[in-house]
């Protein structure tokens, strides 16, 4: 039996990051034994000493050293144990262009704090005569200098322009310089993005041997700016090896008291609480806070009684606030805490708990037995995969399994590409499904959140490879009940393997709550007893090992007809026998029925609300069969349930007769277009469909757009419908082994510095509909990358988009580079700030005023034979 240990206990026994624990005074030895106090607001102090808002506070480490020393000493006198070096904004990004050297600023910051401690230890008497000496009277108490690492100042990709790798590198530099300068620990603070904090924490853990504390900013509802909630964020930080976690900034002590309770209830780590001095208001251009030190200290005492071990202040808190807090807690000991560990999987903004209400894991992104997905993986058709992911989410999945294992492609490369792309379109947590440990590690590293990892098994080789990944990045790992001797035929054998896996995991410091055991469903048509064994295994795993369970449910029905029927029945039986999560097709009605029924029957669905919502309009019996038959056509999901046409019902041109493909495209009906295309392909050649229906429809819509009788949203809905039709045709081509002929290749990109990409996506969609092979480099693209892509692909035409005056400079730079290195390439540009003159001035060949213009230009070049 595995004994649960709190993550904090085990964290100290070893260091998975390859660096030995510091030989220095280790702050972790004091956690929970006595209260430790951070200092107060650095910005507040420096502004009161004349730092103008907007000036780089870290520059004062060099220019106003004496002021910094005074600040640190005032907090030491107040009773602080941990001095934050004045390095909050010291990172490569923020210092760029300031003329200050990163290492110099950080070294000065750490040394100033160290010097303040030296002077304080040696000193006697008080500093300013403020009468604050009492709290900080014991000059021999443990004192620490912490490196202070704040946010990068940039939003992470894909919504911002900072890549995970760049963020990691910035934080690495800062952390390393801090350790070299002699810091005792690292505090990563004021973080509001779980992905950014992952980069910072990994960088600090991998490149220093210092303890790392992390505090983040939550709003009053308990969410990060990027959407993550307390429970999931705490699980993420625990998994990544933070030594203490907590809250700072944003809120005052009252609001933080509520949040601290939540945090204390869900983490076994030591908890830090550093509030502002209340809520801010503006007074004569200055920010002031609404709580005085008395009140602050009073609430902080309550927060400490609730179980926080490390306390301090943020914006607006002076030495008086710290002194009052220290005074009140003088002689008290930190509260003991017991926390029940949970099985949590997270994304950047969502947290899914396994072990209570059953969880659905979408199985669709796995190429086994799926021709379309194999094709999409091989040809790099990521969009198709993203659409499937969004559809699974809409069908009710809670977690998505992602498997990119296919002969002939590098699984690691593919997962590195797919995972950020998937996380940009779905906020569901992902299950990284691979038997390649190197691929699993790279994916787990890049993943935003605390992933589910699929899988480990009882073979020594597997555990040796997978457990270090779980240990280092955190996450929940699926453990298969098989080992060197194969899959045991009985439940006894499977439970035995599960026990072995849990014990081995424990030796890595991995708790059983981070493991979900797969009892293994094997096809019942080959062995009549197999389902019974699986169900018994589930029961015993839950009862004897107290561990969460998972199954690839539909494996049960291989080789049988009407698989859905038996899958649904087995799923309901498995749930009743203790299954925590099922890897299923969430679009399957039978699975949905089993799941909804189980939840309603077992009390997970209050008032049967979900059951009613899903089934109120449902017909049963013969009517249901008819309905199912008609349900074979589904929209992109975004369009499902709603196929309203645009434009009057009779087409202006009168060309697209109602009910035909042309009509569907002209009206922007995605589902209808797909259905009509399928019908047409039964009798017609794909090329005939394209030339006879698709292109005329697009032309009609394009002409109306150019005449101003139809507008951009309608043009694009038609483009979406045409895109859906093309998708069907592509599938047909793939099946028949033919290839669709392309007119020519075009490279497009949104230029460096610019992250708007709707305009570029519009151009791409239209060009693709007109038969061009478009290589989309995305947004914020370096000039050289554009040149390289044009060279490698041999595209004779490059399209560039920029939306802002500030980013047109990069467009110009890109054009210049293209002209130098690929003088024969034609360049078209577009974007809100451009006009024909401006475009000509920066050297473009063509300015596209709207979405159709780029198509017309490409068609012109095609007529000239440039794509030949």
Q: Give, as ranges, the residues between 35 and 54 that touch another protein (CB under 8 A).
A: 52-54
Taking CB under 8 A as the rule, does residue 155 contact another protein? yes
Beta bridge partners of 356: none
- Which of 59-67, 108-116, 156-164, 835-843 is the region at the interface with another protein (rule: CB under 8 A)? 156-164
Residues in 399-428 that interact with another protein by CB under 8 A? 424-427
Taking CB under 8 A as the rule, does residue 756 contact another protein? yes
| Nearest one of 655, 720, 649, 738 to 693, comparing CA atoms | 655
Residues binding another protein: what is the number (CB under 8 A)? 72
Q: Using CB under 8 A, which of 5, 119, 160, 856 touches another protein?
A: 160
Closest distance to another protein from the beta carbon of 167 (Å): 13
Cα separation of 357 and 599, whole Å?
8
A 10 A CB-CB count for 283 gives 8
Q: Using CB under 8 A, which of 142, 182, 222, 227 touches another protein?
A: 227
Q: Which two tokens stand for residue 281?
A: 């208001």
The DSSP line for 506-565 is HHTT--GGGEEEE-----TTT-TTHHHHHHHHHHHIIIII--EEEEEGGGGGTT-SSHHH
Q: Which two tokens stand for residue 837?
A: 């003159």
Closest distance to another protein from the beta carbon of 220 (Å): 12
Residue 685 or 806 with smaller CB distance to another protein: 806
Cα separation of 289 and 280, whole Å?
5
Site string for another protein, 233-262 (x = CB under 8 A): ----------------xx------------
Q: Using CB under 8 A, which of 203, 479, 547, 670 touches another protein?
A: 670
Closest distance to another protein from the beta carbon of 812 (Å): 13
Cα separation of 621 and 639, whole Å?
28
- Longest Cα–Cα distance of the chain, Å, equals 97
- Which of 261-269, 386-394, 597-605, 615-623 is the region at the interface with another protein (rule: CB under 8 A)? 386-394
Q: Which two tokens stand for residue 721?
A: 């419908």
Q: Using CB under 8 A, which of 717, 798, 827, 858 touches another protein?
A: 717
Beta bridge partners of 399: 361
Beta bridge partners of 748: 776, 799
Residue 225 or 265 with smaller CB distance to another protein: 225
**What crossing angle do the helices spanning 491-507 and 460-473 adopt, rounded to 10°?**
50
Taking CB under 8 A as the rule, does residue 656 contact another protein? no
Strand ranges across the sheet with 745-750: 773-776, 745-750, 797-801, 826-830, 846-847
Residue 261 or 646 with smaller CB distance to another protein: 646
Q: Using CB under 8 A, which of 74, 187, 192, 208 touches another protein?
A: 192
Beta bridge partners of 776: 748
Taking CB under 8 A as the rule, does residue 339 contact another protein? no
Q: Which two tokens stand for residue 725?
A: 């039709």
| Nearest one of 132, 37, 6 to 334, comparing CA atoms | 37
- Which of 149-157, 176-184, 207-215, 534-542 is the region at the interface with another protein (rule: CB under 8 A)? 149-157
Residues in 266-305 that interact with another protein by CB under 8 A? 282, 284-285, 287
Residue 58 or 324 with smaller CB distance to another protein: 58
- Which of 6-14, 132-140, 146-154, 476-484 is the region at the interface with another protein (rule: CB under 8 A)? 146-154
Taking CB under 8 A as the rule, does residue 229 contact another protein? no
Beta bridge partners of 187: 148, 213
List Cβ neighbours of 322 (8 Å cut-off, separation of 6 or more): 37, 38, 39, 40, 75, 78, 79, 80, 135, 312, 313
Residue 59 or 639 with smaller CB distance to another protein: 639
Q: Using CB under 8 A, which of 82, 217, 354, 689 touches another protein?
A: 217
Residue 735 or 835 with smaller CB distance to another protein: 835
Cα separation of 54 and 765, whole Å?
43
A 10 A CB-CB count for 146 gives 28
Site string for another protein, 676-715 (x = CB under 8 A): -----------------------------------xxxxx
Q: Using CB under 8 A, which of 195, 218, 810, 847 touches another protein?
A: 810
Q: Using CB under 8 A, which of 42, 87, 107, 190 touches another protein?
A: 190
């Amino acid at each position: 039996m595995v004994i649960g240990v709190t993550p904090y206990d085990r964290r100290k026994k070893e260091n998975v990051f390859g660096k030995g624990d510091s030989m220095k005074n280790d702050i972790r030895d004091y956690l929970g034994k006595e209260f430790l106090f951070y200092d107060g607001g650095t910005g507040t102090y420096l502004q009161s000493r004349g730092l103008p808002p907007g000036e780089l506070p870290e520059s004062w480490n060099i220019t106003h050293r004496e002021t910094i020393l005074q600040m640190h000493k005032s907090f030491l006198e107040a009773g602080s144990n941990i001095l934050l070096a004045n390095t909050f904004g010291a990172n490569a990004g923020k210092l760029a262009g300031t003329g200050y050297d990163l290492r110099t600023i950080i070294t000065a910051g750490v040394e100033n704090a160290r010097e303040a401690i030296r002077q304080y230890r040696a000193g006697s008497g008080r500093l300013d005569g403020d009468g604050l000496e009492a709290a900080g009277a014991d000059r021999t108490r443990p004192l620490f200098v912490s490196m202070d690492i704040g946010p990068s100042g940039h939003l992470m990709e894909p919504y911002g322009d900072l890549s995970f790798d760049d963020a990691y590198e910035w934080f690495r530099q800062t952390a390393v310089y801090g350790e070299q300068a002699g810091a005792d620990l690292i505090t990563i603070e004021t973080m509001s993005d779980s992905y950014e904090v992952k980069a910072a924490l990994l960088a600090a853990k991998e490149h220093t041997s210092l303890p790392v504390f992390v505090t983040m900013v939550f709003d009053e509802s308990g969410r990060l700016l990027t959407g993550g909630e307390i429970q999931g964020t705490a699980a993420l930080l625990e998994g990544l090896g933070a030594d203490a976690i907590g809250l700072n900034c944003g809120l005052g002590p009252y609001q933080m008291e509520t949040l601290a309770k939540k945090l204390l209830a869900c983490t076994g780590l030591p908890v830090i609480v550093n509030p502002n001095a209340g809520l801010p208001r503006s007074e004569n251009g200055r920010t002031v806070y609404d709580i005085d030190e008395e009140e602050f200290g009073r609430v902080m005492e309550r927060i400490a009684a609730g179980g926080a071990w490390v306390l301090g202040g943020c914006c607006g808190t002076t030495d008086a606030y710290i002194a009052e807090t220290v005074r009140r807690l003088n002689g008290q000991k930190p509260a003991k805490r017991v926390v029940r560990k949970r099985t949590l999987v997270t994304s950047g903004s969502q947290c899914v708990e396994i072990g209570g209400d059953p969880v659905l894991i979408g199985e669709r992104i796995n190429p086994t037995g799926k021709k379309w997905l194999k094709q999409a993986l091989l040809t790099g058709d990521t969009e198709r995969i993203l659409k499937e992911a969004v559809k699974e989410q809409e069908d009710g999945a809670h977690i998505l399994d992602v498997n990119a294992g296919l002969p002939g492609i590098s699984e690691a490369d593919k997962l590195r590409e797919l995972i950020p792309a998937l996380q940009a379109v779905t906020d569901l947590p992902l299950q990284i499904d691979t038997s390649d440990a190197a691929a699993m590690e790279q994916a787990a590293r890049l993943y935003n959140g605390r992933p589910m990892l699929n899988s480990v098994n009882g073979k020594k080789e597997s555990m040796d490879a997978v457990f270090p990944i779980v240990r280092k990045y955190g996450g929940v790992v699926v453990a298969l009940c098989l080992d060197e001797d194969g899959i045991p035929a009985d439940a006894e054998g499977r439970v035995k393997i599960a026990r072995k896996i849990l014990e081995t995991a424990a030796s890595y410091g991995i708790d059983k709550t981070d493991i979900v055991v797969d009892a293994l469903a094997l096809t019942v048509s080959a062995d009549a007893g197999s389902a019974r064994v699986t169900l018994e295994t589930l029961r015993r795993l839950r009862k004897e090992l107290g561990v969460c369970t998972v199954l690839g449910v539909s494996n049960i029905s291989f080789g049988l007809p009407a698989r859905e029927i038996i899958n649904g029945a087995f799923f309901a039986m498995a749930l009743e026998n203790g299954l925590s999560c099922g890897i299923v097709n969430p679009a399957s009605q039978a699975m949905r029925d089993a799941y909804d029924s189980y939840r309603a029957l077992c009390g997970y669905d209050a008032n049967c609300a979900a059951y009613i919502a899903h089934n109120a309009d449902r017909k049963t019996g013969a009517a249901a069969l008819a309905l199912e038959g008609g349900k074979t056509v589904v929209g992109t999901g975004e369009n499902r349930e709603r196929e309203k046409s645009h434009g009057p019902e009779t087409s202006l041109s009168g060309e697209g007769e109602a009910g035909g493909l042309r009509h569907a495209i002209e009206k922007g009906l995605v589902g209808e277009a797909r259905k009509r295309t399928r019908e047409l392909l039964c009798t017609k050649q794909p090329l005939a469909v394209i030339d006879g229906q698709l292109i005329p429809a697009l032309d009609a819509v394009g002409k109306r757009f150019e005449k101003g009788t139809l507008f951009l949203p309608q043009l694009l809905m038609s483009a979406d419908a045409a895109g859906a039709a093309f998708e069907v045709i592509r599938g047909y081509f793939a099946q028949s082994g033919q290839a669709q002929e392309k007119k020519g290749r075009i490279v497009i990109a949104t230029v460096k510095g610019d992250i708007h990409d709707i305009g570029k996506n519009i151009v791409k969609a239209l060009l693709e509909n007109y038969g061009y092979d478009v290589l989309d480099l995305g947004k914020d693209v370096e000039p050289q990358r554009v040149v390289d892509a044009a060279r490698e692909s041999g595209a004779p035409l490059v399209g560039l988009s920029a939306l802002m005056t500030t980013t047109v400079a990069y467009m110009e730079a890109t054009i210049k580079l293209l002209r130098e290195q690929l003088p024969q390439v034609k360049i078209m540009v577009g974007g809100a700030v451009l006009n024909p003159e401006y475009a000509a001035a920066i050297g473009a060949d063509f300015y596209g005023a709207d979405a159709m213009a780029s198509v017309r230009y490409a068609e012109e070049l095609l007529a000239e034979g440039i794509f030949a």
